[in-house]
Amino acid sequence: MRQARIVITALTLLVTSLSLPGCATARGGSQLAEAAPSTTKKKPEEAAVGRLDDPGYLFGTRPLAPSKSVRVKALAYTGCSPKAKNKRATKGAWGDVLTRDGKAVAVSPDLLDMGLDRGDLITIEGLGQFKVLDIMHGRHDKTIDIFYGDDACGAVQWGKRTLTITWQ
């Protein structure tokens, strides 16, 4: 059903651009004017097929970038400190509040250079999706730190493991 709508919309746009070429250029030279045939001769390599046959262009969706994956060392950390007398909210290096039920992770700076950024969703092998809300010290390479809230025992049990993470 969705494919039929795409085809109908593409055909409607094509017929409109071919039957009313003055209207397509009258509004400040929109993209439809690029698809209209021109009077100048072009080499076959330079001839534009047009964008009307591209559903991603027509409907504003772009194909997803290929996912990236890397093998990393995974550690665990908590937001509790034995010296803390008041119970303030734990914050990440970027100032994001880390909640106990939120799935947050800190990443090493080299992973940021590989394309990860604040707020990106990563998929951790066997654990699901986590949000990048914190950054680790520069001494760490290819390392993530999974936030365990106040569960110090769970973080100690996690220890250090090697996993694969994936992101877009």
Q: Classify domain 68-167 by CATH architecture.
A: Beta Barrel (2.40)
CA 5, CA 64: separation in Å to the nearest integer?
21
Under a CB-based contact definition with an 8 Å cutoff, are residues 131 and 103 in contact? yes
Percent with pLDDT over 70 in the chain: 63
- Could you tell me the pTM of the whole model? 0.58
Under a CB-based contact definition with an 8 Å cutoff, are residues 134 and 47 in contact? no
When pLDDT is cut at 50, 70 and 90, the band that residue 8 belongs to is confident
DSSP string, 37-104: --SS---TTT----STT-HHHHTT--PPPPPEEEEEEEEEE-S--TT--S-PPEE-TTS-EE-SSS-E
Burial of 101 (0-12, 13-18, 19+ CB in 10 A): exposed
* pLDDT of the residue at 10: 72
* pLDDT of the residue at 136: 92
User: What would the pLDDT profile of 92-137 be if each residue is shown by its tens digit?
Assistant: 888 888 887 889 999 999 999 998 999 999 999 999 999 999 999 9
Q: Taking the domains of the chain in order of start, what are their residue ranges?
A: 2-58, 68-167
Comparing 156 with 1, which gets the higher pLDDT? 156
User: What would the pLDDT profile of 81-93 be if each residue is shown by its tens digit?
Assistant: 666 655 677 888 8
Model confidence at 52: pLDDT above 70: no
Comparing 16 with 167, which gets the higher pLDDT? 167
- Return the ∠ at Cα 37 (arms to 33 and 43), rounded to 5°: 120
